[in-house]
Chain A
Amino acid sequence: MDFSDEFPTIPTRYAFDEDSDEEDLAEVVDKLVLDTIKVDLATEKSMNGYTILYGNYGPGEVFLKASFSTGTKVGSIQLKDKIIASVIASSNNSTDLAIISEEKIPDELVFAVTVALFQQLPCTEVILFDSYLASNYITPNRQERETVPIVKYLRSSLGRKSSQLDMLSAPNLTTGISAAIMTYCELHQLPCVALFTLQESSLGKALITDETTAAFTTALEDLEVACPSLDYGNLRSILRGRKFGKDSGRIDADHHRMYT
């Protein structure tokens, strides 16, 4: 154990106390956010009336990369001049736009990114591709056995209903950009469906497989959502590329070990 680590989180009872220093931060934070998020579209074609397929960082992003491999990049979402998501148009002239995350968006910026996104890309429907960790999933039914494909979903009040998929049951919640987008869609009367594929993890990193990613295809068929065909060869190639580096789940040199 590395004893030089600071206590990771303050005790809960003190987390709710006032901090006089933070009172001056609000305006500064808001201004920084407004200045740093940009949705850049490199096409003069009208983006109205599109269906947005948003692939959250992880299985969702992998799935859309494999499905839109023949698509055309028409834009990007930038945060402080760094591309955090790519906007890909389908090659078959459909009205689908894939927004593929390149990295995880910090929680404090998810609302700002969401608002910037929908201001630039007015759409008619949103489909979110995300995941849930098996180790974090709470279910009162200990006998519950998942059947393949393991996909759960949430829908906004105007979102499509599924006859086959299970909902992400209470008290499980989704957070981050998926929650921000779903909230926006609900409050602004946009049809929205979020798909969550079961995800195993190792040392906090998702272990994405072709089986868990391909589960999205079955869910889309059930919801009658048209999407470019999943290229399994491309999918495996993308997954092989994630076997090393920050997404691999492997122990790296900086990881704190209990034993040398």
Chain B
Amino acid sequence: MNTFVPVPGFDPTQLKGTTLIIPTVSIANVPQLTVDLFVSSLKLERVGFLEDHSVMPVAGVFEVNPDMGITVALEGNSLFTLYLPQTPRPFADMFTVYQTKDRQFTFVQQRTPIFKGKRQVFLSNLEAFIVASGFAKTLIITSTDASRRVDVQMTGVPFRLFAPEDSFVSERAAELNLPMLELLPEEEGDHQNKEDSDIPTMHGSGIAKKLYARLRSKHPVAILVMFALEGDNLQDTIQYANCLDSLMRIVDASPDANFSWSPPASWQGLFGAPYDPELYQ
């Protein structure tokens, strides 16, 4: 079931033909932090929500403009120029949809995990949303447990791509020397189904593999993976945002452009922020 709920004034047909970037709830939450970084830096405007009861509910103030409501678990975003009137949306929740200014990219932000036993329902709803909205292509951004790397993965960039050879990212990935994710021998405890045995296992990546398996036969899809560990992930997030931007050319700023990542204010409370010197006075 397509669970997309547009904000007032937004036409859902504007999602058609755009590139969808969707994070999974995965280890260190780096993909979700990356989407928040894009939302904050590019001033993406929220264009809708995914009303999915498979994820845990959450509500908090909408950081972009606290006077305009709350944030929720599933959101979608688009970037509009600053002089366009913003639809007053004071409230954010679990799943929101955003879009970029040039309408080329649509971001989904998921803030909470999926209830136990609801994963298949969630995947079905997500698949229905992606197919019904008519996205041109989908890039799943996820992270996997860095402690499960093999020798060949220990050096070089901590990023991997998984996509068909003729995918929409293959050419650009080759230009960037972005390696493909290695398909390793099955390990003890891995739950391998026959249908997706050709997709590498990505420990701690959440629904990335399942979502890819569902979409690949009906929709252009690829996975961008980062090796990550729980801890201070701020630098990991910036690194991931740079990699994603290089791959998909979202910001596409010239070297001389005065662009820098602008994290949301709530990141002050993240692990790794500087300590308050007054504590020791």
Contacts and interface: CB of A to CB of B under 8 A. Distances in A.
A156 B269 contact: no
Contact of A180 (B8, B57, B147): B57
A108 B113 CA distance: 12
Interface string B157-193: 0000000000000000000000000000000000100
Contacts of A44: none
A25 B70 CA distance: 32
Most buried by B among A23, A138, A194: A23
Interface string A102-146: 000001101110010000000000000000000000101010000
A171 interface: yes
Interface in A128-187: 138, 140, 142, 154-157, 159, 161, 167-176, 178-180, 182-183, 186-187
Given A108-B115, A168-B60, A182-B91, A156 B266 contact: no
A22 interface: yes
B61 interface: yes
A157 B89 contact: yes
Given A18-B210, A111-B53, A142-B276, A186 B117 contact: no
B119 to A, nearest CB: 6
Given A16-B27, A156-B90, A140 B268 contact: yes
A173 B60 contact: yes
Interface string B17-45: 00000001111000000000000000000
A17 interface: yes
A186 B75 CA distance: 12
Contacts, number: 148
Nearest to B146: A13
Given A156-B90, A156-B91, A182-B91, A175 B51 contact: no
B134 interface: no
Most buried by A among B26, B70, B278: B70
A71 B27 CA distance: 50
A18 B190 CA distance: 9
Nearest to B145: A13
Interface string A16-35: 11111011011011100000
A179 B119 contact: no
B93 A183 contact: yes
A192 to B, nearest CB: 8
Contacts of B57: 107, 110-111, 175-176, 179-180, 183
A155 B69 contact: yes
Contacts of B117: 22, 25-26, 28-29
A14 interface: yes
A16 B206 contact: yes
A9 interface: no
B91 A186 contact: yes
Given A186-B69, A186-B93, A12 B61 contact: no
B207 to A, nearest CB: 8
Given A25-B116, A155-B90, A186-B93, A167 B61 contact: yes
Contacts of B93: 179, 182-183, 186-187
B203 A171 contact: no
A20 B193 CA distance: 9
A170 B61 contact: yes
A22 B26 CA distance: 18
Nearest to B118: A26
A187 B24 CA distance: 23
A28 to B, nearest CB: 8
Contacts of B72: 179, 183, 186
B5 A187 contact: yes
B120 interface: yes
Interface of A: 12-20, 22-23, 25-26, 28-30, 107-108, 110-112, 115, 138, 140, 142, 154-157, 159, 161, 167-176, 178-180, 182-183, 186-187, 189, 194
28 contacts: A12-B230, A18-B191, A20-B191, A25-B116, A28-B117, A29-B117, A108-B116, A111-B53, A111-B57, A142-B276, A154-B60, A156-B70, A157-B91, A159-B69, A167-B61, A168-B61, A170-B61, A173-B60, A173-B71, A174-B58, A176-B57, A179-B94, A182-B91, A183-B51, A183-B72, A186-B69, A186-B89, A187-B5
